[in-house]
Amino acid sequence: MSRTHVSAALRRQIRADAHAICGYCHSPEVFLGMPLDIEHIIPEALGGATVRENLWLACSRCNDFKGDRTEAIDPITRQSSPLFNPRTQRWLDHFRWSGDGAYIEGLTPTGRATVDMLQLNNDFILVARRFWIEAGRWPPPDDLPQ
């Protein structure tokens, strides 16, 4: 299936909306050293439109793990739950950082299902987060409870 073209103007708007961070793992584009993907929250394969309300930024790892999914199994309840929607849901309502700041912990069925399905604590990102912690740049201040 061919993907719909996203105009440069819409790309700029999505980047501004998302503050240039992955909507799922919250990795900043500048830390990753590569551009984030424009991600369809409801995938095109499932009829999702290429409009601002259905687009967000995701790192390539989160985007690849998400694929065309919109829900996953919560590992605690074993029930299907919608994946986190970074455009309409608040990250802190569904996730928190572990005490050392390296791991994302799911707080809700949606949070836990998203952590599990998108492998938000995969070995590669954990190495990066530990470097960011050592440099005093992690976790993001906006992700800490007020």
Tens of pLDDT, residue by residue over 54-63, are 999 999 999 9
When pLDDT is cut at 50, 70 and 90, the band that residue 2 belongs to is low
When pLDDT is cut at 50, 70 and 90, the band that residue 4 belongs to is confident
105 bridge partner residues: 96
Q: Does 2 map to a domain?
A: no
Domain range for residue 92? Answer: 8-141
Q: Does 19 map to a domain?
A: yes
Q: Does 23 map to a domain?
A: yes
Q: Does 123 map to a domain?
A: yes
Evaluate if pTM is beyond 0.85: yes
Dump pLDDT digits (tens) for 58-107.
Answer: 999 999 999 999 999 999 999 999 999 999 999 999 999 999 999 999 99
Q: Does 3 map to a domain?
A: no
Q: Does 101 map to a domain?
A: yes
Q: Tell me whether strands 55-58 and 95-97 are parallel, antiparallel or unpaired.
A: unpaired
